[in-house]
Amino acid sequence: MKVQINISSKDRTFGTSTNFNVSLTQQLKRLKKISLVGVHIPYSFYIFTSLNNKISLTVGVVTENFVIPVGNYTAFQLQSTLQTVFNSGSFTGFTVIFDQNTLKYTIANPTNFDMLFGINGIASHLGFNTIVNKTGANTYTSDNVINLTNGDYINIRSSNLTSGLKQKSINNRSDSDVFYKVPILTNSGGTIFHYVEFPLEYEYNDGKSMESLDFQLLDANNNIIDLNGQDWNILLIAEL
């Protein structure tokens, strides 16, 4: 017998919209297989969050720490924001230019300065090699094209759905609890609609029973996504 399970994060028993448990309206007894057939996720999460929005500049013997305001940006919006932020403290003369042909930033100052990225991930968004600080010059151009996205996928994690499997997980690791990778094929402010024409079936050992499910939405860096007050839906088909 096949059962359709439509779950909304707003019906959660506890937790947040991206890290929650939900009670099932119908207990799954002797579950044989389950598959994801559709998911709706609002693209209301931010590229820059409190986890990856910090950068430090050193001019002479003075180091200042700067914070990029949380949010999503176009390349030119971020260019303007960076220039404003870098000149907001005791430093002056910083310029930030975005090249539309190379898709890179050039950050400059009349005086030599150092850019210290730390390990929070901002370097890759600005097109610089991760965790490689820039030192000893007055101009730095991105090593790579800038990246103002949150990665190509959202990971749906569920320890309930990925335990007791006959087959390996979607990550091909027996210890992984990533249930599904949802491709991001829309822009910020839209909704990610993903439907699976040929669903991947997860098969369980000797059947299992579940009264509730757990879900987490994670970005490419394994951080829990913040939908900023929005909810999401997932549609499953279970075979009992």
Tens-place pLDDT, residues 1-35: 899 999 999 999 999 999 999 999 988 888 889 99
How does 167-176 read in b/e, with b if 16+ C-beta sit within 10 Å? eebbeeeeee
Compute the average pLDDT of residues 213-228: 93
A 10 A CB-CB count for 46 gives 20
Q: What is the pLDDT of residues 123-180, one digit of tens each?
A: 999 999 877 899 999 999 999 999 998 889 999 999 999 888 776 555 554 447 889 9
Compute the average pLDDT of residues 103-118: 96
E strand segments, the chain: 2-8, 14-16, 19-42, 54-59, 62-67, 95-99, 104-116, 134-141, 153-157, 178-183, 191-195, 201-218, 233-239
CB half-sphere exposure, 24, CA atoms < 13 A: 19
Return the pLDDT at 175: 45
pTM assigned to the model: 0.85
Return the pLDDT at 167: 64
Which domains, ranges and CATH numbers included, belong to the chain? 2-45+150-239 (2.60.120), 54-141 (no CATH)
